[in-house]
């Protein structure tokens, strides 16, 4: 849930009993549960308000998509798999022009003043 394993949960429970005592611990647990429920409700209300304000075009909006890493992964990297086809890729030797003629020794390369 929060990255807490069973051992950490036991340690937290022991520390809570030592800090608050067995008399007040149930009261703190109820208060923490209420607080957690209210926070979840506020988050859900905020998400619903955002969806309603953005309109039907964004009905499938997930707040996790607003994270830049998730955005890049979803919109850029997933599309790369769709572009793949089974055509063989040309090798660099296939792309080389083998008809290149070498200049004789001492001859200067042609120069075009308009190209620079």
Determine the pLDDT at residue 56.
82
Select the highest-mean-pLDDT range: 7-11, 25-29, 35-39, 61-65: 35-39
pLDDT in tens, 12-59: 888 888 888 888 888 888 998 999 999 999 999 988 888 888 888 877
Query: Is the overall model pTM greater than 0.75, yes or no?
Result: no
Spatial distance between the Cα atoms of 11 and 70, rounded to a whole number of angstroms: 34
Report which of residues 87 and 102 the model is more confident about.
102
* DSSP helix, strand, coil percent of the chain (3-state; round to 5): 65, 0, 35
Tokens of 22: 């067995």
What's the number of CA atoms in the CB half-sphere (13 Å) around residue 105?
A: 0
């Amino acid at each position: 849930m929060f990255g807490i394993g069973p051992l950490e949960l036991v340690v937290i429970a022991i520390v809570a009993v030592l800090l608050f005592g067995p008399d007040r611990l149930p009261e703190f647990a109820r208060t923490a549960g209420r607080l957690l429920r209210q926070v979840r409700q506020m988050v859900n209300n905020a998400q619903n308000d955002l969806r309603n304000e953005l309109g039907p075009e964004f009905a499938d909006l997930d707040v996790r998509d607003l994270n830049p890493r998730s955005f890049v992964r979803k919109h850029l990297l997933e599309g790369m798999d769709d572009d793949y086809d089974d055509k063989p890729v040309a090798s660099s030797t296939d792309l080389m022009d083998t008809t290149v003629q070498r200049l004789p020794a001492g001859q200067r390369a042609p120069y075009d003043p308009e190209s620079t």
